[in-house]
Chain A
Amino acid sequence: MVYLTRVEHFNAAHKLYNPDWSLEKNDEVFGKCANENWHGHNYDLFVTIKGEPDPDTGFLFDVKRLSGIIREYVIEKLDHKNLNIEVDFLQGKMCSTENLVIGIWQQLAPHIPSQVRLHGIKLYETPRIYVEYFGE
């Protein structure tokens, strides 16, 4: 089994704010991340697929095509956007990196070709903070 990872990135605004809570409670739980006018990040996205290399090409899957899939179904929706306001798959959800990585998995999984499997997604919110999701 070989694991292939493609790295993409996107720059986005967001805030962590629970609309059912008071301002005070949001401040207490989320601190600066609850800033009403948002803040932002350069997100780094690592998409890992797994499978066996094709005997004719030596590829698991053409990584240029994988990049195209990630761009079409994920990056175009997120890059230079406001995650709280403009992302359909995050509506009604807290805009945490945890929920974002799950949403990204759900966007990508239906479009991964059948000769490979989506293994995992790693999403860096900052160089020191990242999440991973394996579809469980």
Chain B
Amino acid sequence: MNATKKVAVFRREHFNAAHRIFNPAWDDRKNAEVFGKCSNPNYHGHNYELVVKVTGVPDPDTGYVMDMKRLSQITKEEVLDKFDHRNLNLDTAYFRDLNPTAEHIAIVIYDLLRARIDPALDLKVRLYETERNFVEYPA
């Protein structure tokens, strides 16, 4: 088998979380104007769907780019255990000073996973906030 043939493997996970999109430096009126209903001070929520993409050359011994059970475990430890059934603004340190938009959540998730995955493998994260709105990082 050609040692340079790269394959992308994907793992899908989900977490259910509350959040609020707002800029604390702005007043309520400006937040409502810019962010609309998403700035509700009492929070709202989503079923987030996360797709983790890892790309590399399959290992000649295992045939795996990466053991998907291990990827699932890493994602559970680094993402789900921290975000699932939580309030992203109140219950996590990552969003105390960072607006938990899907964009920022995707970057935070990427950074958490990147630290645990072999640097020889490429990593990309796609995050669905709803069925119609999703982000990808790195773009």
Using CB atoms and an 8 Å cutoff, list the residues of chain A in contact with chain B.
Answer: 9, 11-14, 32-33, 35, 37-42, 79-82, 85-86, 126-127
Proximity string of chain B (14-44) to chain A, C-beta cutoff 8 Å, 1 when within and 0 when not:
1011110000000000000000011010111
Q: By the criterion CB–CB under 8 Å, are B85 and A39 in contact? A: yes
- Is B87 located at the chain interface by the 8 A CB criterion? yes
A13-B45, A42-B130, A126-B47 known; A37-B40 Cβ under 8 A: no
Using CB atoms and an 8 Å cutoff, list the residues of chain B in contact with chain A.
Answer: 14, 16-19, 37-38, 40, 42-47, 84-87, 90-91, 130-131
Q: By the criterion CB–CB under 8 Å, are A40 and B90 in contact? A: no
In the complex, chain A residues whose CB is within 8 Å of the CB of B90: 37
B22 to chain A: closest CB distance in Å? Answer: 12
Question: Which A-B residue pairs are the 3 nearest by beta carbons?
Answer: A40-B45, A80-B37, A37-B87
In the complex, chain B residues whose CB is within 8 Å of the CB of A80: 37-38, 40, 44
In the complex, chain B residues whose CB is within 8 Å of the CB of A126: 14, 16, 47
Q: By the criterion CB–CB under 8 Å, are A32 and B85 in contact? A: yes
Q: In the assembly, what is the distance between CA of A37 and CA of B42, in Å? A: 10
